[in-house]
Amino acid sequence: MCDCNNEADKPEAEMKKRIAKRAAVLFALLPDEQISHSLTDRKVANLLLATRSFAAECTLAVSWTMEKIVSYNTGLELAEAALEFAAASTKQAECGAAKKTCRTICDINDEGYFCYFDCRLEYVVCLASSIWKAAKAD
């Protein structure tokens, strides 16, 4: 669930730390190259590896400028679209509801780009987690 409560009280540095932490969780959650070779669906394995690489880059968010986060947003959009394509529709709805709630809180508190990026990253974590769990079960 979204950790966007009381965003107005959190400085930008805290938002950056939260993004980096969320990215680190995603990186640790997803399979590395060696483990992904055991998956039977190569497309899913490649998607999870690419998402893991993107997450590794996002762990550096504490040092990002506004320009940097805007540039990473394009990668996040691509990851989001690919994961939506691969995720079960029930998970898309569940993860999407949390994202919508998070974005609403960002709007209410007028938190701006870092908050929205964090909401989208949270959505990617939710989708990737469900895809990884399903892939391990096969």
Query: In this structure, what is the dihedral angle of CA atoms 73, 76, 77, 81, given to the nearest 10 degrees?
Result: 180
Closest by CA position to 126, among listed 57, 78, 80, 60 = 80
Position 8 scores a pLDDT of 44
pLDDT at 6 over 50: no
pLDDT digits (tens, 9 = 90+) for 110-119: 888 899 999 9
Quickly count: other Cβ atoms within 10 Å of residue 61's Cβ.
Answer: 24
Mean pLDDT, range 22-38, rounded to an integer: 92
Position 10 scores a pLDDT of 57
pLDDT digits (tens, 9 = 90+) for 34-60: 998 888 899 999 999 999 999 999 999
pLDDT band per the 50, 70, 90 thresholds, residue 29:
very high
Position 88 scores a pLDDT of 86
Position 83 scores a pLDDT of 94
